[in-house]
Amino acid sequence: MDILSYSSYEFLPSVLYLILLLFLSLRSKATGQSLVFSALIQAAIFVILLIHGMVIHDSVFTPQGFVFGFAQDLSLIAWAGLAFYWFQSWFMPISSLRWIAVLFVMIYAFLPTIFPGALLSPRAVSDPWFKGHFIVATIAVGLLSLAAMHAMLMSVQDRALHRQLAIAPNSRLAHWLEDLPPLMTMESLLFNLLYVGFALLTLTVFSGLFFSQTLFGKPLVFDHKTVFALISWVLFGSLLIARWRVGLRGRAAIRWVLSAYTALLLAYIGTRFVMEVVLQRA
């Protein structure tokens, strides 16, 4: 990858995801999905994830320094989410979620070509503490973002199941919802996401709190980002405790996930979006 300039291949992951989506659509209409086909798709997703990961790394940790913005953040979040889906799909019957997962990561992978981010810190490229903190934080936010989207999908599925949504019986949306895994399977996947995401978020929050000087070159400042990150951590932790103690599930769990994720969104992605797009500042 270092032979080429970043700008010459930054769009490659999106193109590969698009080709994969087209292949999935044509194949499902033609002959359905055999075990061999599913294995090939899993292998293709793995290869594209590797390419996407290398592109992200080279675009963020550049020879000039650490380049980042909300678009790079979303691309990384989508990458982490699809990687988790890919791993879980070997153990759970969630192949019907494949199309929408690939669609989201295709869109987010293209955003850095429009919003290239800004040079934030030359020292971060050679600082292993900062690099480790950044990678863990991004994967944590990625998995919890996927959990939030998954919770919204579960809400739609639940309302459709109880006839609380006006959906035409023979529409594409109705057929797609029918093809989704059962709500129990969806709920199991949701909490798998939450367990791993919360563990990584805990490592992120407390590494930032206790090693702020080492990681960022400045003492800890309790700004809005830190406060919202802590609020999100408390909400996600409370949700998992409620799940363990009283078996919290269903719509109450979904509302709790979305509330916790709103705080996380305000702490991370929202801050970058407002600064870069609304205020036009790095």
DSSP secondary structure, 86-121, as one string: HHHTTTSS-GGGHHHHHHHHHHHHHHHHH---EEEE
How many C-beta neighbours within 10 Å does residue 72 have? Answer: 22
Q: What is the pLDDT of residue 182?
A: 84
Any residues with CB less than 8 A from the CB of 183 and at least 6 apart, and which? 154, 157, 158, 161
Map residue 66 onto helix, strand or coil: strand
Q: What is the pLDDT of residue 139?
A: 86
Q: Report which of 117, 146, 119, 143 is spatially closest to residue 63, judged by C-alpha positions.
A: 119
Q: Report which of 189, 103, 92, 105 is spatially closest to residue 147, judged by C-alpha positions.
A: 189
Q: What is the pLDDT of residue 132?
A: 80
Any residues with CB less than 8 A from the CB of 82 and at least 6 apart, and which? 45, 49, 101, 102, 104, 105
Judge contact between 118 and 246, C-beta under 8 A: no
Q: What is the pLDDT of residue 105?
A: 92
Ramachandran bin of 164, using left for φ above 0, alpha for ψ from -120 to 50, beta for the remaining angles: alpha
Burial of 8 (0-12, 13-18, 19+ CB in 10 A): exposed
Q: What is the pLDDT of residue 29?
A: 53
State the Cα–Cα distance between residues 232 and 256, nearest whole angstrom: 11
Q: What is the pLDDT of residue 171?
A: 63
How many C-beta neighbours within 10 Å does residue 166 have? Answer: 6
Helices (H), 247-282: 250-267, 269-273
Average pLDDT for consecutive 10-residue bins of the chain (282 residues)? 51 92 72 73 94 89 78 86 88 81 91 81 66 82 86 84 64 68 88 93 83 62 76 93 88 90 77 52 52
